[in-house]
Chain A
Amino acid sequence: MRDLARIVGKVEALPTLPTVVARINQLIDDPNASAGDINEVISHDLALSAKILKLVNSAFYGFPRRISSMTHAVVILGFNSVRNIALTAFVFDAFDTGALPFGHRNFWVHSVGVGVAADVLAVRAGLPANDDAFVAGLLHDVGKLVMHQHLRVEFGRILDRVAREEVTFLEAEGAELEFSHAEIGGLLMETWKLPEQLVAALRFHHSPSAAPEEHRQITAVVHLADIFTRALLIGSGGDHKIPTVSGPAWEALKLSDSDLPGIFGEISAEVRKAGTFLELVTDGRGKPGKDRPAKP
């Protein structure tokens, strides 16, 4: 059995977390840090500053007055949200998704959909009012991007198997590799020294019962968000099948069948507002026009 960390360690040029995001991460744990300190860090990266302001002024946040200074954005959003936005903006840029065989836009539409659905479910589950669930959902498949960029041959074989056998990406990668995109995603978050719950949510989003007890709720949230997003056909994570929902995850969130119409309505409404996240992506290297059309 090959060791996952050793295999991933062999992958050349895994993106490293930029200093600015790492520094914000440190400031979150510093009780003496101020909005000015965060502004000082971010101001060294003009592109990141512009992206954060673009996101903060988007319909997703819906502030009626334009927020033009980073300090104001930090005051309003809080440190954690700013770190999450910076992390999101970095991941959008760090991986070349333009050549993804199942479509750059399809991938990010699915990712944003899972982020939005995770946020909806987190609120219902009474998880803390922050956007950690959204970011965990948004980045849940980042391991696939690592595979696409660094394990091209294996990634191609997985997609071939997905098409040939009509199975999920998870089932196909299980037949081709000794580790999963979920494990790679978790390892990446760990390498970047991001919060443990983000590590757990990515690592166990297909096996939520295996998550450490203290992170089982957010992992269940991301697991169900992925399934609901697939059920509503929002984007594509590289396959056209849906895995079976985990019974313990369903029960952990105390869901019943009658909750589903309301949840689906909320997800659709929030996805419509999340367009700026997609704009950020399509401004990057992979243009929507390169994608295969997102037809049924």
Chain B
Amino acid sequence: MPVEKPLGELHDGAVLGADVLDARGNVLLAGGTRLTRAHLQLLERRGIKSVTVAPPVAAAVEAAASAGPEPARPALAAEWLARQERVFAKVRQDSRMEAIYRAARAHLSAGNLPPG
């Protein structure tokens, strides 16, 4: 059953259980919309305090339907990782840059290769 939730408790991926209207009755977002960051910002900007969301199962199904990245081919991933090594070559003595390097490397290694 759809439930009313304060905007502050919502995250990307929640599914609207009903249309969201502005004060004049204009439909800002239709029921069934899977909320993105842009939607949440829009609703906050328009002064919406709470919305009706669909049960978590529906949200999970919607989230599963949105495609994630394709698994990267190992050779291609290795090329990108080598490039990343060169990009960071002069800055890894800085502790924060080392942390950024390691996190970005793990991210790329998991198949999240850049577009292009």
Contacts and interface: CB of A to CB of B under 8 A. Distances in A.
B115 interface: yes
Contacts of A64: 29-30, 32-33
Contacts, number: 129
Given A232-B108, A233-B80, A296-B79, A131 B41 contact: yes
A75 B80 CA distance: 43
Contacts of B28: 76
B106 to A, nearest CB: 7
Contact of B96 (A119, A247, A261, A268): A247
A233 B44 contact: no
A271 interface: yes
Contacts of B3: none
Interface residues of A, number: 52
A234 to B, nearest CB: 5
Main secondary structure of the interface of B (DSSP, over half): helix
| Most chain B beta-carbon contacts within 10 A, residue among A64, A72, A240 | A64
B38 A62 contact: yes
B5 interface: no
Contacts of A77: 42
Interface stretch (A18-26, A83-91, A201-209, A223-231): A223-231
Contacts of A174: none
Nearest to A168: B90
B87 A242 contact: yes
Interface in B73-115: 76, 79-80, 82-84, 86-91, 94, 96-97, 99-101, 103-104, 106-108, 112, 114-115
Contacts of B101: 231
A244 B104 contact: no
Contacts of B94: 244-245
A264 B38 CA distance: 17
Nearest to A270: B37
A62 B87 contact: no
A63 B41 contact: no
Contacts of B76: 296
Contacts of A271: 114-115
Main secondary structure of the interface of A (DSSP, over half): helix
A123 B37 contact: yes
A257 to B, nearest CB: 4
A265 B111 CA distance: 11
| Most chain A beta-carbon contacts within 10 A, residue among B38, B39, B42 | B38
A291 B108 CA distance: 24
A106 B115 CA distance: 10
B36 A273 contact: yes
A83 B39 CA distance: 18
A61 B38 contact: yes
Interface string B57-84: 0000000000001000000100110111
A129 B36 CA distance: 13
B45 interface: yes
A36 interface: no
Given A75-B26, A250-B96, A271-B115, 16 more contacts: A61-B36, A61-B39, A63-B29, A63-B33, A76-B28, A105-B116, A233-B84, A234-B114, A241-B87, A241-B90, A244-B96, A260-B103, A261-B103, A266-B37, A295-B79, A296-B76
